[in-house]
Amino acid sequence: MAVQINPSILSADFSRLAEEAKAVEGADWLHVDVMDNHFVPNLTIGVPVVEALGKATDTPLDCHLMIEDPDRWAPQYVEAGAGSVTFHAEAAAAPVRLAREIRAKGARASMALKPATPIDQYEDLLPELDMVLVMTVEPGFGGQAFLDIMLPKIRRTRELISKHGLEMWLQVDGGVAASTIERCAEAGADVFVAGSAVYGAQDPAKAVEELRGLARQ
Ligand code: DX5
Ligand code: ZN
């Protein structure tokens, strides 16, 4: 299984976003956390900043929408240049239609699950998606402690992906660091978001490669 490391720009210096994006150009994707202060109790960035970031880096953008009404907004993030758009299962009114629209516009479609949302009820939707994101913290903030209790859900999601013979990716986000990434990989994750573990390091590019090495073992 190919391993991908996606640094989260949420932990970067927002006054120097272009430089911070360039600092991790060996990464597979740049993870962009979009929050609306309704779906989660925090407010970050929106479409214009995503558009500017896309011009500032060659790394493709992985936009994680922690917003209400993604049915309305997600397509705009594809138009702004995102290569992958993740909406939350709890927020989407019509996830199948939304995933199809994201794909039709040319991006990868992905669905995220908060810690209390089980994967099983979404089994039938998996073929409509390019990735599932299992949150390993409650969404809203960087720097939170990894929730070990999510490991069974990662395992279960991998089981369902295999059962249906799908090529889709399984992403984990929240508290992913050198101390937790091996457990995530062992449970079946192949795409790893890391915010504080990358941007909190002296050398962010080196931190990406260290995480990659640990996830591969
Ligand atoms: C949390 C965000 C994460 C966050 C991860 O709601 O979705 O992407 O940036 O940060 P760390 O890796 O510090 O937990
Ligand atoms: Zn995220």
* pLDDT-derived band at 187, boundaries 50, 70, 90: very high
Instruction: Clarify whether 173 is annotated catalytic.
Output: yes
Residue in the structure block whose two tokens are 């199948």: 96
Q: What is the pLDDT of residues 115-150, one digit of tens each?
A: 999 999 999 999 999 999 999 999 999 999 999 999
Residue 64 has pLDDT above 90, yes or no: yes
C-alpha dist (Å) from residue 78 to 30, 51, 68, 109: 14, 10, 17, 10
Q: Is the pLDDT of residue 1 over 90?
A: no
Residue 200 assigned to a binding site: no
Whether 106 and 74 have beta carbons less than 8 Å apart is answered as: no
Q: Which of 28, 33, 62, 190 is catalytic?
A: 33
Place of tokens 């457990």: 183
For the chain, give the percent of residues with pLDDT over 90: 99
pLDDT score at 217: 82
Q: What is the pLDDT of residue 81?
A: 98
CATH of the domain at 136: 3.20.20.70
Calculate mean pLDDT across residues 44-69. 98
18-36 residue pLDDT tens: 999 999 999 999 999 999 9
Q: Which residues of 97-130 are buried (b: 16+ CB within 10 A; e: fewer)?
A: ebbebbbebebbbbbbbbeebebeebeeebebbb
pLDDT greater than 90 at residue 84: yes
Question: How confident is residue 12, by pLDDT bands cut at 50, 70 and 90?
Answer: very high
Q: pLDDT > 70: what percent of the chain?
A: 100
Among 94, 67, 93, residue whose Cα is nearest residue 85: 67
Find out whether 182 and 2 touch, Cβ atoms under 8 Å.
no
Q: Which-ligand-closest: CA of 174?
A: 1
- Position 50 scores a pLDDT of 98
pLDDT value for 199: 98
> Tokens 């597979």 — which residue?
28
Instruction: Check if 175 has its Cβ closer than 6 Å to any atom of ligand 1.
Output: yes
Q: What is the pLDDT of residue 21?
A: 98
Please choose from 6, 9, 10 the residue to mutate so as to test ligand 1's pocket, defined by most ligand atoms within 8 A of CB: 10
Report how far residue 10's alpha carbon sits from residue 104's, in angstroms, rounded to the nearest whole number. Answer: 28
pTM: 0.98
Q: Considering Cα of 196, then 86, then 105, then 44, what sign does the dihedral take?
A: negative
Residue 95: burial class (beta carbons within 10 Å; 0-12, 13-18, 19+): buried
pLDDT of residue 189 exceeding 90, the answer is: yes
pLDDT band of 177, cuts 50, 70, 90: very high
pLDDT, mean of residues 149-176: 98
Domain containing 140 equals: 4-216
Q: What is the phi/psi pair of residue 52, to 5°?
A: -70, -40
33 catalytic residue (yes or no): yes
Please tell me the number of the ligand nearest to residue 42's CA. Answer: 1
| Residue 108 CB–ligand 1 contact under 6 Å | no
Q: Mean of the pLDDT values across residues 78-106?
A: 98
Quote the ligand 1 centre to 52 CA distance (angstroms): 21
Alpha-carbon distance 181 to 209, whole Å? 13
> What's the pLDDT score for residue 70?
99
Structural domains counted in the chain: 1
Check: CB of residue 154 under 8 Å from CB of residue 187. yes
What is the structure's pLDDT at 33? 98
- Residue 128 Cβ inside 6 Å of ligand 1? The answer reads no
pLDDT score recorded for residue 157: 98
Which residue from 8, 90, 192 has its CB within 8 A of the most atoms of ligand 1, so it is best to mutate? 8
Q: Are 143 and 158 in contact (CB under 8 A)?
A: no
